[in-house]
Structure formats: C-alpha cells, structure tokens
Amino acid sequence: MSKGRANAVLVLVAMIWGSSFVAQKIGGGAMDTLGFVACRFLLGGLTVLPLCWRDLARLGGLPRADRLGLLATGTVLFLGSALQQYGVDATSVTNAGFLTGLYVLLVPLLGWLALGLKPPPVIWLAAAACLLGSWLLSGGGGLSFAAGDLWVMASALFWACHVLLVGHMAQRTGLPVLVACLQFLICAAWAGGGELLLAAHPFTGLTAGWPAVAYLGFFSVGVAFTLQSLAQRHAAPSHAAIILAGEGVFSAIGGALVLGEAPGWLQMAGGGAILAGMLLIQLVPGDAAGESAAG
C-alpha cells in the first residue's frame, strides 16, 4: 500500500470513528458500559474472523514477545474504549471528540520516549494545529472538567498507546488483519468478564441498544479498526494520529445532524485548523513527515 493510499484509508477511518460518537452516546444510555463495550467488540471480532481464519494457525509460531504484544494491544484497546465510554455517557459528543483528540500530541511524545521515534518539527506543528482545532470544536471556552470529561481525558493516554502498538504489531508480525481480530476478541473478553463480575444484571438493555451495537460493532470496530491496522503498516504512528484527529470534525458533524449540537463559527474554525494540520503533513515531500530513530 502506498503512502497516499494509506493516508486516504486513515481519513476514512477518522470519518467512521467520528460518526461513532453519536452511536456511543445513544447506545451507552441503554446498556452498562462494560456490556456495551463487550458486545460491540465481540461483533467486530466475529466480523473480521473469517478474513484471518487461516492466519490463526500461525499464531502459535509467533515469538512469545509478539503474543504478549498482541495481548497488550487488546488490553490497551479495552482500557481506552471503556474509559471513553464512561466519559461519553456523562459529557457532550463534541467534548468527547475534543478530549479524545489529546492523543494526537501524546503519540509522538510517547513514540519518542518509548520507541526512540524522533518526530520532525512539522509533526509538532501539525499536531498543535489539530489540538487547537479540537479545542475550538468544543466551543473554545474553558472546559468544566466534570467526571465525564476526566474519563475521556484518561482514555486519550490509552488511545495513544494503542496507535503505537497497532502500528508496531502490524509491521512486526506482517499480519495486520489477525492483529485487528485478536485485539477485538481480547477487548471483548476483558469487558465481558468485567460485566459478568460487576453488573447486578449483566447485559441488560441489549434489546434497546442493539442498533448502536450493530453499527459500532460492524463499522467502527470491524471495518475501521481493521483498516487502521492495515494502513499503519505503511504510516508512521504520529503521522497516523494527526490524520485520525479528523474524527473530531466528523464527531461535531454527527452531533449537529443527529443530536442537534449545532456548530458555530468557532467550531467551523476548529474544523479548518484540523484539516490544515492534516494537509500540512500531506504537503511534505518524501519521508520528511515520518519519524526517524533517535540517535
């Protein structure tokens, strides 16, 4: 996959994820958080499973470090998803989109500190533009940092780790679809186990929440996360994070169309700043927008 095609795939992923905030808001009101997360990721795993059935036979032949890496990827996905869902239930779709977007700065920082991937200056400039745009999308005022906002902020750390792990494991194993499927099933196992242990009446509300589960499970999880895994074999982590920050634009559009959270001039300016950050890295020739190993 070429760099340009990988970037286009990541834009599609951002579009799907942005629209998913509305479904999360609706479905989260019908079901317990852990049950909701378990159902949508189980459906996502089952959606992708036929595409990597043969690759499962190669799982036992992977080095132990790779198997542990896959477990870590699914676990981080669970923590990011659960914390984000707790937050979405107690804040606006637009705020959730902005605060989740904090990972756009955390990805290059963690990649530099943990993996020695030194971002060029253009990455920081583009990331700052995306973060500014996300803030404007939220209204440009001071955030109240209510409980819901704090949960979403905490999830941003795990989403940053997830972006790094997905790219690393997809490149290391050469099996991006298998990486996607296993992380879904691991996430579903963690969430399902938690729901069975902690909920007085596990998985209640599934009848009311199934439309959101179906949309998120198939599109947001099965399609979008798998496309992310495929694209990140050919895109630097911080580069991918900047493009994926576009989900904030699409979450605001979804909030306006479905929930009546109409955007004003500040929100539109914020969308423009995010698009400018995404365009900035597209205009950099060659590999100048990618990371280099720190010396």
At 203-227, the pLDDT tens digits run 988 888 899 999 999 999 999 999 9
Highest mean pLDDT among 138-147, 201-210, 215-224, 253-262: 215-224
Name the band, by pLDDT with cuts 50, 70 and 90, for residue 258.
Answer: low
Range with the poorest average pLDDT among 16-25, 50-59, 275-284: 275-284
Residues 6+ apart with CB under 8 A from 76: 158, 161, 162, 165
Pick from 37-51, 131-145, 270-284: least confident: 131-145
- Report residue 189's pLDDT band, with 50, 70 and 90 as the boundaries: very high
Instruction: Look at residue 120 in the predicted model and tell me its pLDDT.
Output: 80
Span 157-173, average pLDDT: 92
| Higher-confidence position of 260 and 27 | 27
Q: Which residue has the higher pLDDT, 131 or 220?
A: 220
Range of weakest confidence among 117-126, 212-221, 278-287: 278-287
Question: How much is the pTM?
Answer: 0.83
For the chain, what is the domain count?
Answer: 1
Nearest Cα residue to 155 out of 100, 225, 95: 100
Top-ranked range on mean pLDDT: pick from 119-123, 163-167, 203-207 = 163-167
- Quick one: pLDDT band at residue 283, thresholds 50, 70, 90? low
CA distances from 166 to 215, 232, 277, 294 (A): 22, 7, 22, 21
The pLDDT score that the predictor gives to residue 50 is: 93
- Using DSSP, state whether 50 is helix, strand or coil: helix
116 pLDDT band (50/70/90 cuts)? confident
CA distances from 89 to 74, 95, 119 (A): 22, 11, 35
Section 122-150 average pLDDT: 74
Contact 155, 89 (CB under 8 A): no
Q: What is the pLDDT of residues 26-63, one digit of tens each?
A: 777 778 889 999 999 999 999 999 999 888 888 888 89
* pLDDT tens column, 70-106: 999 999 999 999 998 888 777 776 677 677 777 888 8
Domain that holds residue 245: 3-293
CA distances, 78 to each of 113, 123, 173, 201 (Å): 23, 28, 21, 21
pLDDT band at 294 (very low <50, low <70, confident <90, very high): very low
